[in-house]
Amino acid sequence: MSAKAFVTRRMTFSAGHRLHNDALSAEENRLLYGKCSNPNGHGHNFTVEVTVAGDIDPRTGMVFNLRDLKKVMTEVVEDGLDHKNLNLDVPAFKGVIPTAENIAVVLWGLLAGRLPPGALHEVRLVETENNFVSYRGG
Amino acid sequence: MSAKAFVTRRMTFSAGHRLHNDALSAEENRLLYGKCSNPNGHGHNFTVEVTVAGDIDPRTGMVFNLRDLKKVMTEVVEDGLDHKNLNLDVPAFKGVIPTAENIAVVLWGLLAGRLPPGALHEVRLVETENNFVSYRGG
Amino acid sequence: MSAKAFVTRRMTFSAGHRLHNDALSAEENRLLYGKCSNPNGHGHNFTVEVTVAGDIDPRTGMVFNLRDLKKVMTEVVEDGLDHKNLNLDVPAFKGVIPTAENIAVVLWGLLAGRLPPGALHEVRLVETENNFVSYRGG
Amino acid sequence: MSAKAFVTRRMTFSAGHRLHNDALSAEENRLLYGKCSNPNGHGHNFTVEVTVAGDIDPRTGMVFNLRDLKKVMTEVVEDGLDHKNLNLDVPAFKGVIPTAENIAVVLWGLLAGRLPPGALHEVRLVETENNFVSYRGG
Amino acid sequence: MSAKAFVTRRMTFSAGHRLHNDALSAEENRLLYGKCSNPNGHGHNFTVEVTVAGDIDPRTGMVFNLRDLKKVMTEVVEDGLDHKNLNLDVPAFKGVIPTAENIAVVLWGLLAGRLPPGALHEVRLVETENNFVSYRGG
Amino acid sequence: MSAKAFVTRRMTFSAGHRLHNDALSAEENRLLYGKCSNPNGHGHNFTVEVTVAGDIDPRTGMVFNLRDLKKVMTEVVEDGLDHKNLNLDVPAFKGVIPTAENIAVVLWGLLAGRLPPGALHEVRLVETENNFVSYRGG
């Protein structure tokens, strides 16, 4: 029997960001992003949920060892983003407006390269208790 | 690169309801709905999660502006349902038994007409911490 | 060694209510309670947290057997209030406006009589994720 | 109109388990499962979310009566697993390593046989606030 | 009967901050605040819980009208702090290091002046799901 | 100005335990602890909230450096209890029935000795989403 399951690991990080498109006027930015374009930025406790999909290995009873997933996520999420300013401190956001959508896409890119091909199924980003985004690559 | 993402906004409302089908006998209603058919009704803090799907606009970094989604949801959920009795006060439930399933379907109908065609992906309704329903239209 | 500890058990109930004082005018009620005075009522998933305080019994390692506390709370909370309309179906609210504060006081009265004298320490009532009340008797 | 909806009921259980494969060496078990292979076991408050999918019955407004789903889940989850040691007390785990993945698969098997054919859509198992698994059968 | 109760309202805000004392050396700041002293700041979804204590008014069944408390909190918390950089955008933090402790103290000061004398009982600030602070004035 | 504040850090651990008093008969144990006395044990995701009280240091804006509190809790909670069987693997529970009350008392003892005298204010232990205990020493 091969059984396909989805395994998710959750991690949080606290970061600052500012939503602003330099190619637009101040007024356009204000209309588009409202108080999210505050020049000095603001921040969130972001939650990331990374889902890996695959068959359960009968020898281990696992799709993917959660310790390994934790190690990858610690490197990408905790070391890479936690207690940083996404716009100013994180190279992966150079030229990318750090909306929740784009954070999910950037995380997908950083995680996919560190996981077995095809393993990554979904990146879910919770920005506040009222806003979430998910991205499945493509 | 076009990247498809799913964006969700959560909103709560507190409402009363009663589960009762007038076409059935009192005994049938009792068997079917149990204490949910209490004549004087009861109520819940409902949570609605509305998910919109689409490509991320490279200019804005967004699938859909959450402020616009919040405006639509405020109109439909907060103004339309909050602190009301679903059976007696809300026209959309005339002739509709306000089960969690039907609330999700009614919300879908009210929201779809206020959003761009094809944008609405899912309405999820949390009735209690132990009961949830989701509806994807169709 | 006698060690004093506080033991809490949580239980939820879903009920309807209406905030309205018959001794006041319609306008006064509207000003005071806003949409909470909607004539057909609304409702909530209420959470009750009952805290009992006392010394830990060295023989059992317990302040109070949680099974006994659960039994008392099931009788008072689940059997007495769940899926009811507090204004119309619950004798203890005759003449009492079922605000969160008064629900906590009424619960205190119902619980204290079923627990050992002095054991009840606090009744906490969560009305929504944004509103809570606590009452310590007196 | 036939409307397909997804209905989920959540239930918790507290159980002990140990991750260990008797076919592997002590060292292999340690490398694979780390502190999860502690000989005397550990435990969790597991949360199970069972999702049933189907058309909403226009007569009842329901996909599936939640009371019936609760009855099935009480039998399988509460009576079958709660306050037990999964490795030693639960026949369904004879020869099965009780990883989160396998617990979801075992629950699927136990639930599917007690529900109408095709009704069961997903079993989601939350092991800790940071680890979840979902299984959709197959 | 006069009955004293505690009424709490919860509100969230998302803000940026940086922990840094200009009177200390860079090395002392790093030792003291670690990654919280990152020059470009970071941020959080802060949760504020404001508790008011008093006797329940028999005419209204309330200690304090939650709509009035919400109005005060919207002014202080949402208008004053949300989507801002606490160090750079908020006058009340001039010369104050915005640690969780100090945010609670500053909020106490801003709220106490807008509430009846003696009404304010506690300000609780949740910085992350793992860190909270409470302050009772004095 | 000296301002007294309460600072709390939360940490989780997953452990197995069994409630059983060897000095009592099997029947007495069954009556007292019910399914919690299952011979092979069960387990929980416990949450510990440790509260430290003191004046805010004007130089740091802190009552107590949360990094130091985290270090102490990691040693006591994560290294000492996580993924263990409290009855069989943890010396501090020799001769102590690991009820929630006693776990809080044991944690108090282990933590107080590693914190400045008088700093520890409360240990709160959440055993399940419905059961919590708090202990303030004495």
A27-58: pLDDT as tens digits: 999 999 999 999 999 999 999 999 999 999 99
**Any alpha helices (H) in B77-117, and if so which ranges?**
79-81, 86-89, 100-112
Distance CA F79, CA F73 (A): 9
CA distances from B114 to B54, B72, B74, B110 (A): 16, 7, 12, 7
Testing the interface with D: which of A6, A47, A65 to mutate, by most D Cβ within 10 A?
A6
Cα C130 to Cα B22, C9, D9, E127, distances in angstroms: 36, 20, 24, 17
Name, in order, each residue with C-beta under 8 angstroms of A92's C-beta and a sequence gap of 6 or more.
Answer: A80, A106, A109, A110
Q: How far apart are CA E16 and CA E39, in angstroms?
A: 12
Name beta bridge partners: E46: E13
Least Cα distance to C24 among E59, F112, F87 occurs for E59
pLDDT over 80 at F119, yes or no = yes
The span from the CA of E57 to the CA of E37, in Å, is 47
Q: Which residue of B has its CA nearest to C18?
A: B83
Give the Cβ contact number of residue F60 at 10 Å: 19
The band of D46, judged by pLDDT with boundaries at 50, 70 and 90, is very high
pLDDT of residue C52: 98
pLDDT band per the 50, 70, 90 thresholds, residue B58: very high
Residues of C in contact with B44 (CB under 8 A): 14, 43-45
**What's the pLDDT score for residue D138?**
86
Cα of E9 to nearest chain C Cα, Å: 5
Annotation marks residue B83 as catalytic: yes
- pLDDT (average), residues D17-22: 96
Please write the tens of the pLDDT for every residue from B7-53: 999 999 999 999 999 999 999 999 999 999 999 999 999 999 999 99
- pLDDT for residue C1 is more than 90: no
Long-range CB contacts (within 8 A, 24+) of B94-99 = B96/D61, B97/B19, B97/B20, B97/B21, B97/D60, B97/D61, B98/B17, B98/B18, B98/B19, B98/D61, B99/B19, B99/D56, B99/D60, B99/D61, B99/D62
Give me the pLDDT at residue A138, please. Answer: 86
CB contact under 8 A, B99 and D62: yes
pLDDT value, residue C2: 74
- Predicted TM-score (pTM) of this structure: 0.97
Residue A2's pLDDT band, with cuts at 50, 70 and 90, is confident
Report which of D8, B100, B35, B84 is spatially closest to residue C14, judged by C-alpha positions: B35
* Residues of chain B contacting residue D10, judged by C-beta atoms under 8 Å apart: 129-132
| Chain C residues within an 8 Å CB radius of F24 | 59
For the cut 80, the answer to whether the pLDDT of residue C72 exceeds it is yes
Tell me whether residues B60 and A21 touch, CB distance under 8 A: yes
User: Average pLDDT over chain A, rounded to whole?
Assistant: 97
Predicted confidence at residue B100, as pLDDT, reads 98
Residues in A whose CB is inside 8 Å of some CB of B read: 19, 21, 23-24, 32, 34, 96-102, 104-105, 129-136, 138
Report residue E110: phi and psi, to 5°.
Answer: -70, -35
Residues of chain E with pLDDT under 50: none
pLDDT of residue D18: 97
Which has the closest alpha carbon to E103: E127, E82, E129, E121? E127
H or E segment and range at residue D4: strand D4-17
Q: How many CB pairs under 8 A join A and D?
A: 59
Mean pLDDT, to the nearest integer, of C26-50?
96
pLDDT category at C96 given cuts 50, 70, 90 is: very high
**Average confidence (pLDDT) over F54-59:** 97
| CA D84 – CA F35 distance, rounded (Å) | 8
Contacts of residue C65 in chain F, CB cutoff 8 Å?
32
| D83 a catalytic residue | yes
Angle (nearest 5°) at CA A23 between A18 and A29? 50
The 10s digit of each residue's pLDDT in B96-117 is 999 999 999 999 999 999 999 9
| CA separation for the pair A7, A61 (Å, rounded) | 12
Smallest CA–CA distance, residue D72 to chain B, in Å, is 15
Residue D1 has pLDDT above 60, yes or no: no
pLDDT of F1: 53
Q: What's residue E2's pLDDT? A: 74
> Which pLDDT does position D2 carry in this prediction?
74
pLDDT category, C138, cuts 50, 70, 90? confident
